[in-house]
Structure 1
């Protein structure tokens, strides 16, 4: 289906900017279609749509600091009914993720129930897969609120040790679909004193939700400008972002080939359908292909 020029202008994108005096940098992202795709692919409940949507958005904002196809993974795992959420993004704008229990919902008729109860108490883990490093860099902190936003802000202070301002927002329509989604991340640079960041943190705290800006027809450029007041910023880069997974049938076949001969023998005689956790795509490995993999494993034993 083709879209108009006007619609194309408002596609999901990320914009990066820097204050003209080099005291802080900012990334702003619109993830409305990304979050809606995740909802459709995984059949997310309203609770999961908001929580996973925020996590996907946060992962993309963190990935904006990487290079090329370096990637970042954000995992929130707690004792709440959601279990865990995983979101992964890379610098080229590919985002994917899933929830352990995608259909669970909270009973908001109960007193003192908040969205953070979906995840509950647990751990937030951020892993960065970087060029020229054999193992990912991993940081883990305790979850403070479970609402993702508070936890990501806490992560920036505790693990990255960078004064920052985080904003994550997912709003829903009456039918449960995604209305608007997006977020922003401002990070202090070495030339800035703390007063600059305190001013920005106050500005961001008082800023209208990102979804309101988008709903009113404002794009990420306007959000960047408003969030950085009274400091002028200049654009460094912009790129499209989208829900995208690199899973394939060949990758699933390669994974099967790593199983032992005894395990593979149990798969003979029928097609195998596999579902990707990250994107919900189904991949079928035919009976003939299974037979070939089993025979190959058998040959390795001789």
Structure 2
């Protein structure tokens, strides 16, 4: 089962989240049938959003939009404070690897654009923040957003590793943040440790990558585990929700679907589920509008 583990240094100067999102990203790949690069780009975005949502309380929802002008197009994700996330990528078929190593490439094909976050607290006044994409690698873009927009110096590592058949093998990551009052020499010490830590891909490849990530972040420093909670890919779409969308259409449009198309077919972008509305379903909606 996927999970996020929250921790804090015993000094109280730093906190870290570490995540196992393997099943989450694997489900997304299966639902959207993404190719290698698209799988990694979408997966990293889902992980980034789960990190952001883990900072929220109550029934808040966080929407992340990675808006690039190159091969991937836009990547959209929505997560809530319960650990549930959904998302999709505009171009599912990007599959570009380094010839020599077979490494899946992401950043160079995101292009220029923006990292947009929308936090909906359920009050009707969502908060939106936008920062530029600095690399397209998603983790670096998230760290830049946290540092610039939320004024919280952060280090972030995210990745999705694929097997020889380009299926999701493991996915996860970490976020380390400096807390108020941290002395400069302690910040420098952690910065040096992060710079020297093994590549995120090698840590994720460990047998227990949650422990490997925590050990790499804290080194010999003591820390406390604060919380562990589940994560999952979950889409809250339903036929009833799409029915509510259809009923907002003019009667002429509904009648045209009924008479000319003999029904309607609606596909959920976030999870790929298709909902069918028969002629009788549409007739009922037409009568309800009347």
Alpha-carbon deviation of 1:201? 3.0
Structure 1 residue corresponding to 2:155, chosen from 157, 162, 165: 165
**Which residue of structure 1 lines up, in the alignment, with residue 107 of structure 2?**
116
| Cα separation, partners in 2 of 1:240 and 1:191, compared to 1, 3 Å | same
**Which residue of structure 2 lines up, in the alignment, with residue 294 of structure 1?**
286
Structure 2 residue corresponding to 1:103, chosen from 85, 93, 96: 93
Distance 2:287 2:188 in 1: 65
Alpha-carbon deviation of 1:45? 1.1
Distance 1:248 1:149 in 2: 32
How many positions carry a matched residue from both structures?
Answer: 284
Contact 1:169–1:209 under 8 Å retained in 2 = no
**Which residue of structure 2 lines up, in the alignment, with residue 7 of structure 1?**
none
Query: CA deviation digits over 1:135-163, x for unaligned, max 9?
Result: 21111111111111221111112111111
Contact 2:69–2:112 under 8 Å retained in 1 = yes
Distance 1:190 1:218 in 2: 31
Distance 1:278 1:199 in 2: 42
Alpha-carbon deviation of 1:164? 1.0
Alpha-carbon deviation of 1:187? 1.4
Structure 2 residue corresponding to 1:128, chosen from 119, 138, 149: 119
Distance 1:106 1:211 in 2: 18
Alpha-carbon deviation of 1:60? 0.5
Q: Within 5 Å, give how 1:143-222 maps onto structure 2.
A: 143-222=133-212
Q: Does 1:283 align with 2:275?
A: yes
| Cα separation, partners in 2 of 1:241 and 1:107, compared to 1, 3 Å | closer
Alpha-carbon deviation of 1:218? 1.3
- Show structure 2 runs of 5+ residues with no match: none
**Which residue of structure 2 lines up, in the alignment, with residue 64 of structure 1?**
54
Alpha-carbon deviation of 1:241? 0.6
**Which residue of structure 2 lines up, in the alignment, with residue 229 of structure 1?**
219
Alpha-carbon deviation of 1:174? 0.9
Distance 2:151 2:214 in 1: 23
Q: Within 5 Å, give how 1:16-35 maps onto structure 2.
A: 16-35=6-25
- Show structure 1 runs of 5+ residues with no match: 1-10
Root mean square deviation, CA, Å: 1.9
| Farther off after superposition, 217-226 or 238-247 | 217-226
Distance 1:149 1:85 in 2: 14
Distance 2:52 2:75 in 1: 16
| Cα separation, partners in 2 of 1:107 and 1:29, compared to 1, 3 Å | closer
Distance 2:33 2:193 in 1: 36
Distance 2:12 2:225 in 1: 12
Query: CA deviation digits over 1:110-147, x for unaligned, max 9?
Result: xxx9521221001110111114x312111111111111
Contact 2:67–2:74 under 8 Å retained in 1 = yes
Alpha-carbon deviation of 1:28? 0.8
Distance 2:125 2:32 in 1: 30
| Cα separation, partners in 2 of 1:164 and 1:268, compared to 1, 3 Å | same
**Which residue of structure 2 lines up, in the alignment, with residue 258 of structure 1?**
248
Query: CA deviation digits over 1:179-199, x for unaligned, max 9?
Result: 111011111111212433332
Distance 1:107 1:33 in 2: 23
